[in-house]
Amino acid sequence: MGVALPPSANQDELWTGYFAAHYQGRVAAIAEQIFANSGVRTRQAAVNPMTEDVSGWSTEQRMRRYQEEALPLGKEAVERALTSSGLDAADVGLFAVCSCTGYATPGLDILLARDLGMSPRTQRLFVGHMGCYAALPGLGAVSDFVTARGRPALLLCAELPSLHIQPPAARLETQQVVSHALFGDAAVAVVLRPEERNLRGYAVREVAAVTDPTTADHMSWQVTDLGFRMGLSARVPQVLSRHVRPMVDDLLSVHGLTVADVDGWAVHPGGPRILDTVERQLELEPSALAASREVLATYGNCSSPTVLLILDALRRRPEPPRRVLALAFGPGLTLYAVLLELA
């Protein structure tokens, strides 16, 4: 794995230095409480609103800046992942990129493949607008390639939510306040290789998904003239509470396992209530989601890279967990899960 982060920003300073003036009157008081209860201490911002206010920028301006910021950030993450894997860029058979916060063609997949010296025959895949859960179907796609072709693959998740701060609103728009309080920027790359002897790492054992189309309006990411606008219903935890336990039980049963057999949990921290819901439905000890809560506190919700940041934290423990279940959630409303096992 390889992680790359823009400069860090303190949550309290973001509030006092920018967002306190972004909201007015009663809205400001409610917004301040949402920021305080977000579970976020620090987060990273390629574009810090305290020094550069993009809330009035057009989508065109934001997309140009996305290319400027995402390219070096993604390159740093990929180079670190390749170095740690002992592979050269030319060894990569498939290069997959997940990102929902910026678009251009040629995209990150093409430009990074060129700049890093990947083979002209390297296959590429770009996954856009899957949002916060994109890393897990991305992981499934690259692991399928590795299994079928017997060649290494590389997954990059790169997001810059800081480019999508919305203009001030006269009335309370809770969903916008929540997104302003939660999201941060990050890039994480993961190398997958065919199974080899003496190769230490996590093997992808199972991928599962559940989509509840009756709740499609609960989470959205709309392209507007002023950047991308987040829609996040307060009912999302309620939907998760119906689906997360059956999905997890079904996935684990394929391998003759139960929740008790999982000693590592990488649960996407869409917010504190999301983590509380998963903990309650899976009947986990509070310590089980410590890594997810710490990633939320340190990085915020970085959309697709977030679950990979949690995996990175788990694998760096003095005694890494043997079995990890990664869970992430996003538009659809969609739940994705990946079972990993230490090889």
Helix 290-299 vs helix 272-281: crossing angle, to nearest 10: 170
Q: How many CA atoms lie within 13 A of 6 on its CB side?
A: 26
| Cis-peptide into 106, omega within 30 deg | yes
Contact of 264 with 321, CB cutoff 8 Å: yes
Catalytic residue among 98, 132, 157, 302: 132
Is 98 an active-site residue?
no
Q: Where is 44: in which H helix or E strand?
A: strand 42-44
Strand duo 42-44 + 8-10: pairing: antiparallel
Nearest-5° Cα angle at 325, 182 to 220: 35
Q: Quick one: which of 195, 163, 167, 169 has its CA closest to 62?
A: 163
Distance, CA of 169 to chain centre:
27
How many of the other CB atoms lie within 10 Å of CB of 29?
Answer: 10
Rounded to 5 degrees, φ, ψ at 150 are 70, 30
**Catalytic residue ranges:** 132
